[in-house]
Amino acid sequence: MHDFEKSKTSVCPKRSIWPKRSIWIDKNTQTVKVIDQRYLPHKYIIYELKTLKDVINAIKQMVVRGAPLIGVTAAYGVSIILQNTPSGVDETACLLEECELLKNARPTAINLVYAVDRVLEKILVENDLNIRKSVALTEADNLAEEEVENCRKIGEHGVALIKELSDKKNGEQINILTHCNAGWLACVEYGTATAPIYKAHDLGINIHIWVDETRPLNQGARLTAWELGEYGINHTVITDNCGGHLMQHGLVDMVIVGTDRSTYTGDVANKIGTYLKALAAKDNNIPFWVALPSSTFDWDLDSGVDQINIEERNSDEVRFISGELDGSIQKVSIMPATSRAANYAFDVTPARLVSGFITERGICKASEVAIKQLFPEKFVLDR
Amino acid sequence: MHDFEKSKTSVCPKRSIWPKRSIWIDKNTQTVKVIDQRYLPHKYIIYELKTLKDVINAIKQMVVRGAPLIGVTAAYGVSIILQNTPSGVDETACLLEECELLKNARPTAINLVYAVDRVLEKILVENDLNIRKSVALTEADNLAEEEVENCRKIGEHGVALIKELSDKKNGEQINILTHCNAGWLACVEYGTATAPIYKAHDLGINIHIWVDETRPLNQGARLTAWELGEYGINHTVITDNCGGHLMQHGLVDMVIVGTDRSTYTGDVANKIGTYLKALAAKDNNIPFWVALPSSTFDWDLDSGVDQINIEERNSDEVRFISGELDGSIQKVSIMPATSRAANYAFDVTPARLVSGFITERGICKASEVAIKQLFPEKFVLDR
């Protein structure tokens, strides 16, 4: 276990000091470091990214997770590939090959491919390896800063929705349900779904967050609860089964979730179970918002259920649950060893169930027309 | 750990021999015994019911669970109260007082109150304590046999629904999703939701069961998976978040669940999360069936969401997960110790989302009119 360390590019993440960051460059070692999110909230462990293998492992094994953080990690990954370029090889061929491996580390988060391609585009116009290294690092830093700024803006725009409800209820507590972790741990700072929540708290709005535990890996119970607790935000962890009941009984005022990939028509891929909460929100006339930086839109897809590749992960994530026991992390088996288990990691919430998107440019409905109004430059080609 | 023992009233439950029973009278000790379901599938432990305290503890702590089994256990509980009647007290006053305690052990399952009242009605017309003891035991035995027979009939009626789908799909695999455990462990034999499944398997219909793990206590992953595995039925455990995704992709042909209490208008209280699956089934045009003996209908309630008392259980069931680790049962903590957790045990699925009920008398729509047609004697009073 380590303390948080100073980042080259930004204020360091440090317990109980805001802002926090989930990825940074260690000033002394000049290496990229991340929080190993597999061990939170029980242990606070730093994971160092030195090789492509480290980066791919971090993404695959979910040391880092969350669409924006996966993207930024992958961007630094390109820089790490360059740092490790062996001598006497075709540098560009080697780079492209390794970037392909990196892009395939996980299938659903669009930010992974976006980030790698973005850094690649900047470096492929250069020929000198040292210049490439420097350009890659700068571009990864830029992406990190952009993600932070996007999340900050998502908070600014999204808080208006919370404030509106709070005013309607004359300042009574606003109950917000969220699924999985779309917090600063999933991003670099602020988070997506949590950005309006942190901002509302800063403004003194009376809020309470229902945190879905989010099986199989419990990112809600482990990460969102930890984040919110560290920031002093009133919250309650519930099982994934519970939200519908709460909504039926008027105990949820709004839902805000993140997304790993959304179509330009408004369909939302997010952690498995999101679709069920969206159905319950619709059935109870509760607004269901999706917070995302525009880098999470897939401008090529028009139908989420048909076209978004849903990752199927190792069934051991269902069979076993990790938790803390007498100070150490243990995995217990929760089902018969002879039974099969299946582990689909995401689902798609159709646009018709989404009240709208909270983006860095503002709020829009979950429709092609509305998304186009906010991001016209993405629609320059006829589809 | 013990072997299954011979029951006074029926074939004993024994591993891998059908039929199995979840409650029986030990021939030698003349005591009521049940399987301690808290330890399945990892350990097979028998729990003996000798005092009212044992019975209440078994119901409260979920040694036994499931509406029909709670009812039968409570019926034997009345007999156990009588066995332990102290001398020199007002026997009837004492009996009534203790029966009240018993009826309040858990709030949602209607069978608990029904069973206690039913046995009480039979014994209160007798004056002699020994006759009361004998009558109570006989009535509890009768109730157990009726539950078995009802479940058997639910299987006979329900299998027609599976067969119909199987014929439509030309014998291709029929995928059935179930939530929680409404199997023989929840009843005495056969189960409610599982009765048509066991029957379909017996008839050689090609079926596969998606088993929701059912947090917080994982009755699906622990109990339903164990039951189905013991009977050789093809099944896969999934997280509670997963069913909506499977339904969107044509991987679920029907849903069958049990219920702890249903209104005579067709609203269904069942394990928390059932409502979310019903919403997803509706959204994907998949039949959603509820299997129940008519003793689970509450003939006094017409609105489930407003009128059914939803039990809120200890939040430790959310905070910790039990499982097997190196041969022993351990509890791991899955969230920050400083965060709050809430634990609502049931939710209500409105009749509009239910395709129909599978009862011991046949199948009917989830409406007052249809339920009345099947059980006219329950509607003799104008409401």
A334 CA: distance to closest CA in chain B (Å): 5
pTM of full prediction above 0.80: yes
Q: Which residue, among B270, B334, B343, B346, would best test binding to A if mutated, counting the most A CBs under 10 Å from its CB?
A: B334
A324 CA: distance to closest CA in chain B (Å): 5
Number of domains in chain A: 2
**What is the structure's pLDDT at B7?**
31
Q: Strand ranges (DSSP E) for chain A? A: 23-25, 32-35, 46-49, 174-178, 207-212, 235-238, 254-257, 261-263, 268-271, 288-291, 297-298, 320-325, 328-333, 340-341, 346-349, 356-359, 362-364
Q: Is residue A9 part of a domain?
A: no
* Contact assignment for B331 to A325 by CB distance below 8 Å: yes
Helix A129-168 and helix A195-202: axis angle, to 10°?
A: 60
- Burial of B337 from C-beta contacts in 10 A (0-12 / 13-18 / 19+): exposed
Q: Is residue A316 part of a domain?
A: yes
Domain final position from A146, A170, A189: A146
**What is the structure's pLDDT at B118?**
97
State whether B213 and B239 are in the same domain. yes
A122 Ramachandran zone, left/alpha/beta (phi>0; psi -120 to 50): alpha
SS3 state at A7 = strand
Beta carbons of B329 and B39 less than 8 angstroms apart: yes
Q: Whole domain around residue A99: which residue ranges?
A: 23-146
Q: Supply the ipTM of this predicted assembly.
A: 0.92
Strand order in the sheet with B32-35: B23-25, B32-35, B46-49
Query: Helix count (H) and strand count (E) of chain A?
Result: 13, 17
Q: Any idea what the CATH number is for the domain that residue B74 is in?
A: 1.20.120.420
State whether B134 and B191 are in the same domain. no
Write the residue in A216, A236, A324 that is nearest to B342 by C-beta: A236
Beta carbons of A257 and A233 less than 8 angstroms apart: no
State whether A313 and A202 are in the same domain. yes
Distance of CA A119 to the CA centre of its chain: 20
Exposure string for A101-116, b = 16+ CB within 10 A, e = fewer: ebbebbbbbbbbbbbb
Write the residue in A42, A276, A324 that is nearest to B276 by C-beta: A276
* Contact assignment for B305 to A249 by CB distance below 8 Å: yes
A306 Cβ contact partners less than 8 Å away, ≥ 6 residues apart: none
How high does pLDDT run on average in chain B?
93
SS3 state at A358 = strand
State whether B73 and B208 are in the same domain. no
* Contact assignment for A334 to B321 by CB distance below 8 Å: yes
Question: How far is A145 from A139, CA to CA, in rounded Å?
Answer: 10
**Does residue B163 have a pLDDT over 60?**
yes
Distance of CA A47 to the CA centre of its chain: 18
pLDDT in tens, chain A (383 residues): 223 333 322 333 444 444 469 999 998 889 999 999 999 999 989 999 999 999 999 999 999 999 999 999 999 999 999 999 988 889 999 999 999 999 999 988 788 999 999 999 999 999 999 999 999 999 999 999 999 999 999 999 999 999 999 999 999 999 999 999 999 999 999 999 999 999 999 999 999 999 999 999 999 999 999 999 999 999 999 999 999 999 999 999 999 999 999 999 999 999 999 999 999 999 999 999 999 999 899 999 999 999 998 999 999 999 999 999 999 999 999 999 999 999 999 999 999 999 999 999 999 999 999 999 999 999 986 55
Strand order in the sheet with A346-349: A297-298, A261-263, A268-271, A346-349
Integer CA distances (angstroms), B348 to A162, B177, B261, B275, B307, in order: 28, 18, 9, 6, 10
Q: Which amino acid is at A348?
A: V
Beta carbons of B129 and B82 less than 8 angstroms apart: yes
Q: Which residue, among A335, A340, A343, A349, would best test binding to B if mutated, counting the most B CBs under 10 Å from its CB?
A: A335
Domain final position from B113, B146, B179: B146
**Does residue B11 have a pLDDT over 60?**
no
Write the residue in A242, A323, A347 that is nearest to B344 by C-beta: A242
State whether A215 and A333 are in the same domain. yes
* Contact assignment for A213 to B215 by CB distance below 8 Å: yes
Domain final position from B146, B180, B209: B146
Q: Is residue B269 part of a domain?
A: yes
Q: Is residue B184 part of a domain?
A: yes
Question: How far is B134 from B266, CA to CA, in rounded Å?
Answer: 37
The encoded tokens of residue B62 equal 């979920």
The predicted model gives B261-271 an average pLDDT of 97
Is the bond preceding B41 in cis, omega lying within 30 degrees of 0? yes
Active-site residue set of A: 260
Q: Which residue on chain B is closest to A353 by alpha carbon? A: B283
Beta carbons of A147 and A68 less than 8 angstroms apart: yes
State whether B173 and B75 are in the same domain. no
Distance of CA A229 to the CA centre of its chain: 19
Question: Residues B280, B282, B283, B285: what is their CA dihedral angle, to the nearest 10 degrees?
Answer: 120
DSSP string, B112-180: HHHHHHHHHHHHHT---HHHHHHHHHHHHHHHHHHHHHHHHHHHHHHHHHHHHHHHHTTTPPEEEEE-S
Integer CA distances (angstroms), B52 to B87, B92, B265, in order: 16, 16, 35
State whether A238 and A129 are in the same domain. no
State whether A160 and A203 are in the same domain. yes
A312 CA: distance to closest CA in chain B (Å): 11
N-term to C-term CA, chain A? 51
Write the residue in B241, B243, B343 that is nearest to A215 by C-beta: B241
* Contact assignment for A344 to B242 by CB distance below 8 Å: yes
Q: Is residue B77 part of a domain?
A: yes
State whether B313 and B370 are in the same domain. yes
Q: Is residue B12 part of a domain?
A: no
Q: Is residue B14 part of a domain?
A: no
The encoded tokens of residue B101 equal 């305690």
The strand pair at B340-341 and A235-238 is best described as parallel
pLDDT digits (tens, 9 = 90+) for B79-110: 999 999 988 889 999 999 999 999 999 988 78
The predicted model gives B288-298 an average pLDDT of 95
State whether A248 and A319 are in the same domain. yes
Partners of A346 in the beta sheet? A271
B42 CA: distance to closest CA in chain A (Å): 7
- Above pLDDT 90, what percent of chain B? 89
The encoded tokens of residue B125 equal 């017309």
State whether A230 and A94 are in the same domain. no
Q: Any idea what the CATH number is for the domain that residue B328 is in?
A: 3.40.50.10470
State whether A106 and A197 are in the same domain. no
- Burial of B163 from C-beta contacts in 10 A (0-12 / 13-18 / 19+): middle
**Does residue B14 have a pLDDT over 60?**
no
Q: Is residue A236 part of a domain?
A: yes
The predicted model gives B46-65 an average pLDDT of 96
